[in-house]
Amino acid sequence: MGRTLMTSEQTPVSIPAAPKVGMVSLGCPKALVDSERILTRLRADGYQMSADYDGADVVLVNTCGFLDSAKEESLAAIGEAIAENGRVIVTGCMGNEAELIRARFPDVLAVTGAHQYEDVVDAVHAAAPPGLGPYVDLIPQSAPGDVKLTPRHYSYLKISEGCNHACTFCIIPQLRGKLASRRIDAVLREAEKLVAAGTRELLVISQDTSAYGVDVGHEERLWKGHPVRTHMTDLARELGGLRTPDGQVPWVRLHYVYPYPHVEAVIPLMAEGLLTPYLDIPFQHASPSVLRAMKRPANEAKVLERLRSWREICPDLAIRSSFVVGFPGETEDDFRYLLDWLEEAQLDRVGAFRFEPVAGAVANDLPGAVPEEVKEERYARLMEKTEAISRARLEAKVGRTLRVIIDEVGEPDEEGDIGATGRSQADAPEIDGAVYLRDVPATLAPGDFVDVVVEDADAHDLYGVIAGS
């Protein structure tokens, strides 16, 4: 329904209802941040958000193009949006394959590439003009400010775009370009605003967090009256100084950290409780020959020694990683080397995927393709190994009291008992395990920090009760 604005001459001016935008966001947390930025800008321009196809004047599909399977999922999402709505704009990592998209779906209104925010907004303006909404609503923001696709209590903080590495299985540099670091004062300002608005956990993301600032020579900027370098260690130190409105230290979780020597400088901040004792390190493999074929950075580093050193400084440090099985040329000896390495590394959380050729990736032309049945068999063995390690590490936490952030509070059961789901500092949202609580008070809310006595564990999750209950 439209509205009527009375001018100074009392002449009625008809103002149409604000157009509505639907969003389908696929892929990694970095793409999720892109979606949040796009929607934030559109809300500032007077658009409303639609939760379904029927109510949308235009639908945005933020695609993922990392693997062929992800591309197929993206194409399927585009096809569904075309069928259900018909007015579709495509953006994201598959935007560089506009010809393919238009050949399959000639009716798409526009195709833009990854993090081309202005182009996406311009395309929405052309498809569904914003009208006079901004003149009435100014900036129609919902508290705490920006449009968020994540719960209010945690937020992703993107510090850079792109990547300078040339890993043979990856086409991220083709999709997102070379490393482009954000100004550190802008990153810190965003973090400060997020925490002031209710964020209790910041998840720092990029393609290579350890390389932050390399492209700008680690330039200095003034922040709060003192110089800070555009460098991961300076960023971590400043983020460790943030406080929530009630004076608590928010969790700051570092993702996509390559194990370069300077990473050791952030471990004492974790030991002091200023940073979450958690590192997401994309090892991908352990066999030297496979790492060379992958052209992985820092593949000559004495990683196991570093892990031991870091855990000596911060015993509660949790490390997660992901690995590729069945990479071209991977032998049984290479795979056994990886299993032995995992046994020694004792990583807390591990994800894995079978090698999949990606159009444009150098690895596609490497000799020694691994048969699919061998990939499956190795994948199963890897998951069996990492599950056993995870189970043992979690069972060792039974009886301990851990700090937990609450994600969800359930409804009372027939006896009036209420359960809740949270995460320990060793658990990032969506990708790691959970902590399941029993008999929580009705006043508990998402975003609350509580101390939990761990009563039980399985291969992935913990179970407990709030201390003192």
* Binding site as annotated, residues for [4Fe-4S] cluster: 28, 64, 93, 163, 167, 170
CA distance 282 to 324: 10
CA distance 115 to 98: 15
CA distances from 433 to 375, 457, 458 (A): 25, 11, 10
Q: Which residue has the tokens 């929530």?
A: 244
Binding residues: 28, 64, 93, 163, 167, 170
Q: Are 453 and 401 in contact (CB under 8 A)?
A: yes
CA distances from 371 to 76, 306, 326, 327 (A): 27, 34, 8, 10
Q: What is the CA radius of gyration of the chain?
A: 24
CA angle 444, 450, 451 (to 5 degrees): 140
